[in-house]
Structure 1
């Protein structure tokens, strides 16, 4: 790896941390940067889960009081998320890089569309239902399979599914989403590590940038319109989808 490549990876981690702290969607950058640097798609996807993981923890800590109130439902949904994420991660490792590469542009298009629709999917104030209802369990299982397989767009997908299953205000749903994201990512990281799919060199280079970006994101949020950042993430997603369609 050249010094220029390492600097670009660090920069991608930095910008992804900023975007995740403000609007979400940083996985597009980390995944794209690693694949453009020559990392196989499966390894890039697996390593992105490592890079994004600290941000899930800090986001969940910001909602610790809500997490405490929802602990019973979260215990049930955590078990569901473990099973789903395990299945998704194992399915990813069962694929060859060419097979996964052929799926990547479609996954990126779907995740980009989901991200673009994010503001409309965010719930308004509504009646709360138990998150661990049969509908909530079924939808969370599907979402966790996707999250274990391909993390981009998982957060928006989970907010939408939780809104359908349990309702309530945005911050309550975001707290549940952040906690369950930790569970899904942790299982995926364990599976990817055991399967030797993670490039620790790339991950170690990007992690400090992502951590710094998460901190700077608060500063940037006060000065840069979120709409601009959302458009930037959508542009990156569409660019990467087009790149992989061309490369397929």
Structure 2
């Protein structure tokens, strides 16, 4: 691997970790860096899932106090999420790179729009001691979100928080904790499928993961000095750049 590509990937991992800590949207950066470094889009998408996975785990652990109160009830949604992620990941592996490349700009535009609308999609607080799970509408919405997460993933967190806010009870922090827990399930299942399909670029992932860890730590410093709207604007600009890059390549 050229040294410049390695530096690009490490910096992308760092930026991804930092923006995830401040505003979310790090998937745009990891996916974009790997495609610009020459990886096929399916490989870049699958490898990005690996680089984001440690952050999903640490976010879930940060909410462990809340999760302890409803984890038994969330098992049904976890199972539904696993089935949805399995479906989405298998659909991705069933495509060839040219077909997926044709879909990527549209997926990026949709994910960027979803991310931009994120502040308005945050659920309002709802009464209820615990987050209720298991309703038919909620289960179907979570399955659809998990299919998307297994297939592409960018903007999944915003989408899931919005659907949980519409279909579950509980305050924002409980819903966010549930979202983080389900994101771990979705990512884990998708990664297992991608590993079995041989579409993970492990060298690139190994370079990016330490950068993401350092970026997540630095995100605390950034959050105190850079307005969140500025970080969100940067992520939206990256998403739009990548979308038009793929439109031009197509």
Q: So what's the TM-score if we normalise by structure 2?
A: 0.97
Equivalent of 2:217, from 215, 218, 222? 215
**Stretches (4+) displaced over 6 A:** none
Cα RMSD (Å) of the superposition? Answer: 0.9
Residue number in structure 2 paired with 1:240 = 242
Q: Distance in 2 between matches of 1:170 and 1:212?
A: 28
Q: Distance in 1 between matches of 2:120 and 2:85?
A: 26
Contact 2:114/2:155, CA 8 A, preserved across alignment = yes
Residue number in structure 1 paired with 2:28 = 28
Return the offset for 1:131. 2.2
Residue number in structure 2 paired with 1:16 = 16
The number of residue pairs the alignment matches comes to 248
Residue number in structure 1 paired with 2:94 = 94
Q: Distance in 2 between matches of 1:133 and 1:66?
A: 21
Equivalent of 1:184, from 179, 183, 186? 186
Contact 2:150/2:187, CA 8 A, preserved across alignment = yes
Residue number in structure 2 paired with 1:69 = 69
Q: Distance in 2 between matches of 1:136 and 1:70?
A: 16
For structure 1, the 5+ residue unaligned runs are none
Contact 2:132/2:170, CA 8 A, preserved across alignment = no
In the TM superposition, what whole-angstrom CA distance separates every residue of 1:103-149 from its partner, at most 9, and x where no partner exists?
00000000000000000000122234612211111110000000000
Q: So what's the TM-score if we normalise by structure 1?
A: 0.98
Contact 1:81/1:144, CA 8 A, preserved across alignment = yes
Contact 1:123/1:167, CA 8 A, preserved across alignment = no
